[in-house]
Amino acid sequence: MYKQLGFSLLKIGEGAVVDLKHFCESTAKKKYFRYIRRKMESEGYRLTRYKPPQAQPLLDEIEEVSKEWLSMPGHREFGFLQ
């Protein structure tokens, strides 16, 4: 209907730009996020940040985890990224 009226498609939302300083100040440093982080750590989860370029063994491990995720019913790549 919109195309018939002369409108065109404008896709918004896949190329996010995040101000990390603002994000940390307004979310990650808040009490709720500290609670979540401590809870996840107590359950044995950990977060590791790797700076590029990534070593091939790390990329291979990520690909293996991604393939396993996608093999489960109802799982898509976007969910894995989240």
Total of domains in the chain: 2
pLDDT of residue 27: 78
Token look-up 């790390």 returns 58
Say if CB 70 and CB 63 are below 8 A apart: no
Task: Reply yes or no on whether the pLDDT at 82 is more than 70.
Answer: no
Q: What range does the domain containing 23 cover?
A: 16-46
- Which ranges in 20-76 belong to alpha helices (H)? 20-23, 31-42, 56-71
What is residue 46's predicted lDDT score, i.e. its pLDDT? 86
Residue 56 sits in the same domain as residue 81: yes
Give the CA-trace dihedral at 55, 52, 82, 75, to 10 degrees. Answer: -30
How much is the pLDDT for 56? 93
**Which whole number is the average pLDDT over 61-70?**
88
52 with 62, same domain: the answer is: yes
**pTM beyond 0.75, yes or no:** no
